[in-house]
């Protein structure tokens, strides 16, 4: 088998050329026909990773396509790239760094419990047990985590997903928006004397977080006086900056520089989550992640579930022209998952140049969106079923629910998931619509084209371990796509320009000038007029 060098483009790989030729013929065989011709399809095009069952049979693929995708992964050195990532080699080439997030969930990540993870567990146990006291001697009974992007989306998502494990007497809240309404809501009803604020910022310079930290500090001082050292903690890769802001070094928890924000859930940014669910459950979350790490590093390509899902994403984006991916969890606890995955996938794959700075050979990451299951069916599923774009869909379900009043909800919920997978794949023909008694002039409106791809992911239950497995599955799936396309999934320079301009506009709004002849000078004037109007 020919192996393409790392400096070449993906479309120079022999398997890429063969897949491009096959793509034009995929529409010749419908998903209806594929299942009719191969009744074992749903068993063969599915597999397990950890405790998760993943079914990708409702994609326009066959053995030839899958075989070529596996060859493409081999020719693009995807397994080697993943192995280097797992070995913490410097695969983040644009920043000259290793990638360390998988090290945080390895069993030996904190042997002896004296490192960051052990210190986090000690603090969490003291808060949960009521022995950690604030400046006035009252026990800490609330934790408010301040972060944005990766220091917020993952922990907030996990906190909601695992709310059934939360300590009943400790309030844990999250705030991320520069809009002061968000912080006000997070602090509402809490007492400064019993609250710990955790400032999560890798650089400890992120303006949104620093503004929120200053406001939270002022709120604390109103309740406990000038000494708030027992009420503020930090998760950061810049402990010296945290100390410079007066934060007690005993309450500063290190984030390795090699861990990117969107991959940082198992790091110190998960401190508030650990307080909520307890150190034992947090360790189960890490163990679930590690199980998928092992799977990625050990399984051959044709049985490697995250690798196969990443290759299917490449198939859909690069060969079939899909521009979007919908993620639809049929689980109330997972309703924030699409928000987390938007950052994970779009920040990692939103690149127009390869790791060496040359233009990409074609389109890269899709637009990722989604929401909870049955709500989605009554919002954007109309477009998924009958719109002009074909949008691959991930349907995520949980077999054993956290709650099922009267035993009347959960089977119905899962019936909806299964129904959507079938309706998307097989649709309804005009003949079938007419047979249902649809008026002839309405048949075209009630015909469903089908052939809309979906992946079904089933969790046995929503536990700390299965959540960790699900998150790691998407992390590795994302990295696989990047490796095929030759882009760096670990940097995010695209967020910097807006930050820099915001600083300039902030100075402008706080000052006085009209902004000269800048394109936005009229908007500046209008904003000031509305702001200052009585």
| DSSP character at residue 359 | B
Q: What angle do CA 236, 471, 464 make, to 5 degrees?
A: 90
138 is catalytic: no
Q: Can you give the pLDDT at residue 514?
A: 56
Helices (H) and strands (E) in the chain, counts: 23, 11
SS3 content of the chain, % helix, strand, coil (to 5): 55, 15, 35
**In the predicted structure, residue 35 carries a pLDDT above the cut 80:** yes
347 is catalytic: yes
**In the predicted structure, residue 99 carries a pLDDT above the cut 50:** yes
**In the predicted structure, residue 128 carries a pLDDT above the cut 90:** yes
Q: Rounded distance, CA 221 to CA 231, Å?
A: 10
**In the predicted structure, residue 232 carries a pLDDT above the cut 70:** yes
CB proximity list for 303: less than 8 A, separation 6 or greater:
47
* pLDDT one-digit tens code per residue, 485-506: 999 999 999 988 888 888 888 8
| DSSP character at residue 318 | I
Calculate the alpha carbon distances from 404 to 331, 333, 400, 409 in Å. 12, 13, 9, 6
Three-class secondary structure assignment of 56-94: EEECCCCHHHHHHHHHHHHHCCHHHHHHHHHCCCCCECC
Q: Rounded distance, CA 155 to CA 149, Å?
A: 10
Among the residue ranges 17-31, 87-101, 489-503, the one predicted with the least confidence is 489-503
Q: Rounded distance, CA 169 to CA 130, Å?
A: 9
Average confidence score pLDDT of the chain: 94
Q: Rounded distance, CA 487 to CA 351, Å?
A: 7
Pairing mode of beta strands 232-236, 195-200: parallel
Any alpha helices (H) in 94-206, and if so which ranges? Answer: 116-129, 153-161, 180-187
Q: Can you give the pLDDT at residue 33?
A: 96
Q: Rounded distance, CA 439 to CA 120, Å?
A: 65
% pLDDT > 90, the chain? 88
Q: Can you give the pLDDT at residue 511?
A: 72
Q: Can you give the pLDDT at residue 322?
A: 97
Count CA atoms within 13 Å of residue 268 on its CB side: 26
Q: Which of 222, 378, 496, 529 is catalytic?
A: 378
Q: Rounded distance, CA 172 to CA 160, Å?
A: 10
* Residue 5 pLDDT level (bands cut at 50, 70, 90): very low
Q: Rounded distance, CA 70 to CA 207, Å?
A: 44
Q: Rounded distance, CA 379 to CA 477, Å?
A: 27
Residue 131: name the closest of 121, 123, 119 by CA.
123
Calculate the alpha carbon distances from 192 to 78, 142, 229, 232 in Å. 51, 9, 12, 11
* pLDDT one-digit tens code per residue, 325-356: 999 999 999 999 999 999 999 999 999 999 99
Can you give the length of the chain in residues?
534
378 is catalytic: yes
Q: Which of 347, 385, 410, 475 is catalytic?
A: 347
Residues 369, 307 contacting (CB under 8 angstroms) = no
* pLDDT one-digit tens code per residue, 265-311: 999 999 999 999 999 999 999 999 999 999 999 999 999 999 999 99
Calculate the alpha carbon distances from 520 to 245, 486, 526 in Å. 34, 37, 10
CB proximity list for 226: less than 8 A, separation 6 or greater:
none
* Phi/psi of residue 432, nearest 5 degrees: -65, -40
Calculate the alpha carbon distances from 504 to 180, 498, 511 in Å. 20, 10, 11
Q: Which of 164, 409, 445, 499 is catalytic?
A: 499
Q: Can you give the pLDDT at residue 515?
A: 56
Count CA atoms within 13 Å of residue 17 on its CB side: 7
Q: Rounded distance, CA 198 to CA 211, Å?
A: 14
């Amino acid at each position: 088998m020919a192996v393409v060098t790392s400096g070449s483009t993906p479309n120079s790989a022999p398997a890429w050329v063969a897949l491009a030729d096959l793509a034009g013929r995929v529409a010749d065989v419908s998903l209806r026909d594929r299942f009719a011709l191969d009744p074992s399809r749903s068993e063969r095009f599915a597999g397990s990773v950890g405790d998760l069952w993943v079914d990708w049979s409702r994609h326009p693929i066959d053995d030839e396509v899958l075989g070529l995708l596996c060859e493409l992964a081999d020719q693009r050195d995807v397994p080697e790239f993943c192995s280097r990532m797992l070995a913490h080699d410097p695969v983040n080439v644009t920043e000259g760094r290793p990638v360390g997030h998988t090290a945080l969930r390895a069993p030996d990540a904190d042997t002896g419990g004296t490192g960051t993870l052990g210190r986090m567990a000690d603090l969490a146990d003291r808060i949960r047990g009521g022995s950690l006291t604030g400046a006035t001697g009252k026990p800490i009974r609330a934790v408010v985590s301040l972060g944005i992007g990766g220091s917020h989306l993952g922990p907030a998502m996990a906190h909601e997903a695992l709310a059934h494990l939360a300590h009943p007497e400790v309030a844990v809240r999250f705030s991320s928006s520069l809009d002061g309404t968000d912080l006000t809501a997070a602090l509402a009803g809490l007492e400064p004397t019993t609250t710990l604020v955790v400032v999560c910022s890798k650089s400890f310079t992120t303006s949104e977080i620093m503004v929120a930290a200053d406001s939270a500090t002022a709120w604390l001082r109103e309740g406990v006086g000038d000494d708030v050292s027992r009420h503020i903690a930090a998760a950061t890769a810049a402990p010296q900056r945290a100390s410079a802001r007066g934060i007690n070094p005993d309450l500063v928890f290190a984030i390795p520089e090699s861990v990117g924000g969107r991959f940082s859930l198992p790091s110190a940014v998960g401190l508030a989550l650990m307080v909520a669910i307890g150190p034992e459950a947090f360790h189960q979350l890490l163990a679930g992640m590690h199980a998928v790490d092992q799977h990625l590093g050990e399984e051959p390509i044709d049985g490697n579930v995250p690798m196969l899902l990443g290759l299917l994403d490449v198939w859909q984006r690069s060969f079939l022209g899909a521009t979007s991916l919908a993620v639809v969890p049929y689980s109330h606890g997972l309703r924030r998952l699409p928000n987390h995955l938007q950052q994970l996938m779009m920040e990692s794959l939103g690149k127009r140049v390869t790791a060496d700075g040359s233009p990409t050979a074609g389109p890269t990451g899709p637009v990722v969106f989604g929401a909870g299951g049955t709500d989605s069916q009554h919002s954007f599923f109309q477009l998924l079923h009958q719109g002009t774009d074909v949008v691959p869909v991930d349907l995520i379900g949980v077999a054993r629910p956290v709650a099922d009043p009267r035993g009347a909800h959960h089977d119905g919920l899962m019936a909806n998931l299964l129904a959507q997978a079938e309706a998307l794949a097989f649709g309804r023909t005009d003949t079938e619509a007419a047979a249902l008694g649809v008026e002839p002039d309405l048949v075209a409106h009630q015909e469903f084209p089908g052939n809309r791809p979906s992946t079904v992911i089933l969790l046995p239950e929503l536990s700390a371990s299965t959540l960790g497995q699900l998150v790691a599955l998407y992390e590795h799936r994302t990295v696989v796509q990047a490796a095929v396309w030759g882009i760096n999934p670990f940097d995010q320079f695209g967020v910097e320009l807006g930050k820099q301009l915001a600083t300039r506009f902030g100075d402008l709004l706080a000052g006085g000038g009209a902004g000269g002849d800048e394109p936005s000078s009229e908007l500046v004037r209008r904003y000031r007029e509305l702001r200052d109007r009585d």
